[in-house]
């Protein structure tokens, strides 16, 4: 077990280093001198030289690389070219909003998707099955901005139940919940689509097992068989999908934050893109890499914990 954890940890560190290296060199080979991009075409040679020195661009590339790595690991990701504040601070300011959104969406998605999948499986090839299959296929086909716009049109613009701009600045718990509701529901519906599909097929597989027949033979009720015996055994593939989906969830949160105009990493990266804020972009790449690596690590470990049969090889 310890070996397994250490190996996964090792892989995570290697991934992180590989991506950081890639980010460093990619930013360097970008067409155009970053100092010219920052100062504009009209800048004097003197001010460009001054900025190059301040940014450390006059150092040898190997030294720059080591300083970049050291800085990234210490949490010194440079200062934003637009706001002048440290990148790490800007990221940490909005990170809670994104984490709140994805965490709520994750829980809500499982709460909606798991029963739907079980419902479809026990009614195989009957109307509930067809309905859930069509709806879940729709859910996993919809780009997050499409479902977001439909939700926004229906619930915020036509029905006026929710604010058009979610803001995320609500002070009372009720206001915060109202701000969170639509964006979280948007992400959760797509999440639920994945969970429903995998629960259905996993449940179908489990229901065909011998011990389910035994349970039926001893006279256990259908309810007890499904919810007590079968559900626990069909959870392993579900956990895998939830883990895999966490990455996609982070991607979709970018689109969701834009549609609902909610502060978070998504709004930050789009702002950085529009304003050509290279240090901010570099920092965003680091934070996304960090999140993806941590999520994958956690999924691997949880998977190992849930299924004792997993060989830690």
Partner 1 sequence: MSKTDTAAAPRPRNEFLLLAGNALRFTGKALTSNPTTLVGAIIFVAIVVLAILAPYISPYDPVAQRITIRLQGPSWEHWLGTDYYGRDILSRLLHGARYSLVIGILSITLAVILGSLIGLIAGYFGGRIDIVIMQVMDVVLAFPALILGIILVAVLGASVTNIIIAIAFTAVPAFARIARAPVMTLREREFVQAGYALGFSDLRIMFRHILPNIVPEIIVMASLWMATAVRTEASLAFIGLGIAPPTPTWGGMVREGFENILDSYSVALFPSLAVLVLVLALNLIGDGLRDAIDPKVGTNS
List residues near partner 1 by CB under 8 A.
11, 14-15, 18-19, 26-27, 30-31, 124-125, 137-138, 140-146, 149-150, 152-153, 157, 164, 201, 204, 247-248, 250-252, 254-255, 258-259, 269-270, 273-274, 281, 285, 288-289, 292-293, 296
Torsion of CA 233, 239, 241, 245, to 10 degrees: 160
**In this complex, which beta carbon is closest to partner 1, that of residue 237 or of residue 247?**
247
Shortest separation between residue 145's beta carbon and partner 1, angstroms? 5
Give 37-62 as a DSSP string.
Answer: HHH-TT--HHHHHHHHHHHTTTS-HH
Pick 44 or 237: Cβ nearer partner 1: 237
141/294 Cα distance (integer angstroms) = 27
- Say how far apart CA 71 and CA 282 lie, in whole Å: 12
Shortest Å, Cβ 146 to partner 1: 4
Find the shortest distance in angstroms from Cβ 284 to partner 1.
8
Please tell me the distance from the alpha carbon of residue 64 to that of residue 56, in angstroms, as a whole number: 7
* Of residues 112 and 144, the one with the C-beta less far from partner 1: 144
Cα(281)–Cα(273) distance, rounded to whole angstroms? 7
CB of 20 to partner 1, least distance (A): 12
Least CB distance to partner 1 at residue 121 (A): 10
The rounded distance, in Å, linking the Cα atoms of 302 and 193 is 22
176 vs 276, which CB is nearer to partner 1?
276
**What is the residue whose two structure tokens read 């229901």?**
207
CA distance 255 to 261: 10
């Amino acid at each position: 077990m310890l070996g397994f954890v250490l190996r996964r940890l090792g892989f995570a560190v290697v991934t992180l280093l590989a991506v950081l290296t890639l980010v460093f060199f990619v930013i360097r080979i970008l067409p155009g001198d970053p100092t010219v991009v920052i100062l504009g075409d009209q800048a004097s040679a003197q001010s460009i030289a001054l900025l190059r020195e301040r940014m450390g661009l006059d150092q040898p590339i190997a030294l720059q690389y080591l300083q970049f790595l050291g800085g990234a690991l210490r949490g010194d990701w440079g200062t934003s070219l637009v706001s002048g504040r440290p990148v790490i601070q800007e990221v940490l300011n909005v990170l809670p909003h994104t984490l709140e959104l994805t965490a709520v969406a994750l829980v809500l998605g499982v709460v909606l998707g798991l029963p739907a999948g079980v419902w479809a499986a026990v009614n195989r090839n009957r109307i509930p099955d067809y309905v859930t299959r069509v709806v879940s296929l729709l859910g996993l086909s919809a780009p997050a901005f499409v479902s977001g716009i439909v939700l926004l049109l229906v619930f915020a613009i036509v029905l006026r139940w929710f604010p058009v701009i979610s803001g995320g600045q609500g002070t009372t718990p009720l206001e915060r919940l109202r701000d969170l509701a639509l964006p979280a529901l948007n992400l959760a519906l797509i999440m639920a689509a994945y969970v429903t599909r995998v629960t259905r097929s996993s449940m179908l597989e489990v229901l065909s097992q011998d011990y389910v027949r035994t349970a039926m033979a001893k006279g256990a009720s259908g309810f007890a068989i499904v919810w007590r015996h079968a559900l626990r055994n069909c959870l392993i593939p579900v956990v895998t999908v939830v883990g895999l989906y966490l990455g996609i969830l982070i991607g979709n949160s970018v689109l969701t934050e834009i549609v609902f105009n909610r502060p978070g990493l998504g709004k930050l990266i789009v702002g950085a893109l529009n304003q050509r804020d290279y240090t901010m972009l570099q920092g965003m790449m680091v934070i996304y890499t960090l999140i993806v690596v941590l999520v994958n690590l956690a999924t691997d470990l949880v998977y190992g914990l849930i299924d004792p049969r997993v060989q830690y090889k």
